[in-house]
Chain A
Amino acid sequence: MSNNCLVSISDYSKDEILSILDSAAEFEANPNRKTLDGKVIATLFFEPSTRTRLSFETAVIRLGGSIIGFSDAATSSSSKGETLNDTIHMVSCYADAIVMRHPLEGAARYAAEVSPVPIINAGDGANQHPSQTLLDLYSILKTQGTLENLTICLVGDLKYGRTVHSLIMAMSHFNPSFKFIAPDELKMPDEYKVFCEKNNISYTEEKELTDNFNDADILYMTRVQKERFQDLMEYERVKNVYTLKNDMLSNSKPNLRILHPLPRVNEIDPDVDSNEKAYYFRQAQNGLYVRQAIVSKVLDSSKQQESKR
């Protein structure tokens, strides 16, 4: 296994996270640097994810690298029944690193074990999506000037939303306080509350979204997905309760910024978009710089390993 893979945010120490964020800031100041000249990066998307794929591909192209790959498993050999092991070995004959999105959970960890070239996990089912977490951290750092001692309010689907779970893990290095706002059906699973308690992270839980985030520095909204509900009446009730409207922001802190992993449906009213506290579109743009930093780090450490051999 190549140990410079990025499979899960917990693979990175606090120092590694901070160095990625530093490097992302450098890429933001100067996004077009030819550090990947002559390199080939494969983007293997076994399930479609246009946003993530375009972001990674743009990152590689702006660094002077080239892209091979596919955007849908239907057009790849896996539709003929090829195992992931075989696909990874075949692609690693051509590419210097592999960015992979796969519907099966654990696919990225497995690929990292069998692959001779670095694997970057661009999402494995509902399990991990570390580049999203790093771009969330970068957005928080950029808007607040620090990651330390912040109050972060997480809203919506806290049960199945992998982005909020990874964010708790990653923020645990920086002494945060959390407020979890979710309906009963979608409340934060116990294992993450136990994690907070073990790490001395304070949190509170609420069921309604009003203006009860007035002490927060970050309001992290997530999509409440219809398919998560067994009772559709309950969904109809909840989906409107969890809509953020512009007038709810009037007493919030001046430094508050609203994040959302996107796509949103109706959990943020369009009237919020023009508020200076709305940060979700710029958050998506930050993904480009963070992914430039990730691809560079992964290839850089693989180069160092080769030179040691």
Chain B
Amino acid sequence: MGKELKVAALKNGTVIDHIPADKLFQVVSILHLDKTLNQITLANNLDSAKIGSKGLIKISERALEEDETNKIALICPNAKINIIRDFVVVEKRPLILPEEIREIVQCTNPVCITNNQPVTTRFHVQNQNGQIVLKCHYCEREVIQEKVKIK
């Protein structure tokens, strides 16, 4: 048997590739794939020349919303998102973090106003010497990308 894993080709939908193996189920969770009725293919611990061991998600008949790609960009910035139509990749969507992230991230500061009152969270995305840092618009607490808490 060859190394190639047999996964059904996707007719229409989204492929998220190059997910670090330890992040796969976090991506499943933030996209709420456990609740979706679409056909999904999950694969993990696949060989990857780039990152050693990777995960892959195929979601049939679904295009991701912008806030969903933002979430993925926060967790695994090097993942690749391909939009498939009629078995053909019609769009390679780059994962770029916006300058400001609203709503999807929770502030790590327990006494931040956003954790105690009905206030939509806002974070400013900053690059501090190569490290991506999110700064809460309200309490000004900073959190590095790896420690971000997604709602």
Contact = CB atoms under 8 A, between A and B. Distances in A.
Nearest to A111: B113
A226 B139 CA distance: 24
B100 to A, nearest CB: 14
Nearest to B141: A105
Say whether chain B's binding surface is mostly helix, strand, loop, or mixed: loop
A109 interface: yes
Interface in B105-144: 107, 109, 111-114, 116-119, 128, 136-142
A173 to B, nearest CB: 19
A104 interface: yes
- For A83, A85, A105, A128, the residue with the greatest tally of chain B CB atoms inside 10 Å of its CB is A105
A65 interface: no
B142 A104 contact: no
A105 B117 contact: no
A97 interface: no
A110 B116 CA distance: 12
Contacts of B112: 104-106
A105 B118 contact: no
Contacts of B128: 194
A110 B111 contact: no
B142 A106 contact: no
A127 interface: yes
A85 B117 contact: yes
Contacts of A106: 107, 112-114, 136-140
Contact of B113 (A8, A104, A126, A128): A104
B142 A191 contact: yes
A132 B144 CA distance: 30
Q: Chain A interface residue count: which class? A: 10 to 19
B137 A104 contact: no
Contacts of A85: 117-119
Contacts, number: 52
A8 B140 CA distance: 10
Interface string A172-200: 00000000000000000001001000000
A83 B117 contact: yes
A213 to B, nearest CB: 30
A69 B51 CA distance: 59
A206 to B, nearest CB: 26
Contacts of B138: 105-107, 109-110
Contacts of B107: 106
A103 interface: yes
Interface in A99-123: 102-107, 109-110
B142 A105 contact: no
Contacts of A194: 128
Contacts of B140: 8, 105-106, 127-128
A84 B142 contact: no
A83 B114 CA distance: 12
A125 B118 contact: no
Contacts of A103: 111
Interface string A76-106: 0000000111000000000000000011111
Given A104-B113, A105-B112, A110-B113, A127 B118 contact: no
Contacts of A127: 139-140
A282 B127 CA distance: 42
Contacts of A105: 109, 111-113, 138-141
Given A104-B112, A105-B112, A105-B113, A110 B142 contact: no
Given A83-B118, A104-B116, A104-B117, A109 B111 contact: no
6 contacts: A8-B140, A104-B111, A106-B136, A109-B137, A125-B139, A126-B111
**Which 7 pairs between the two chains have the least Cβ-Cβ distance?**
A106-B138, A105-B139, A106-B139, A106-B113, A104-B113, A107-B113, A109-B138
Given A104-B117, A106-B113, A106-B140, 4 more contacts: A104-B113, A110-B113, A125-B111, A194-B128
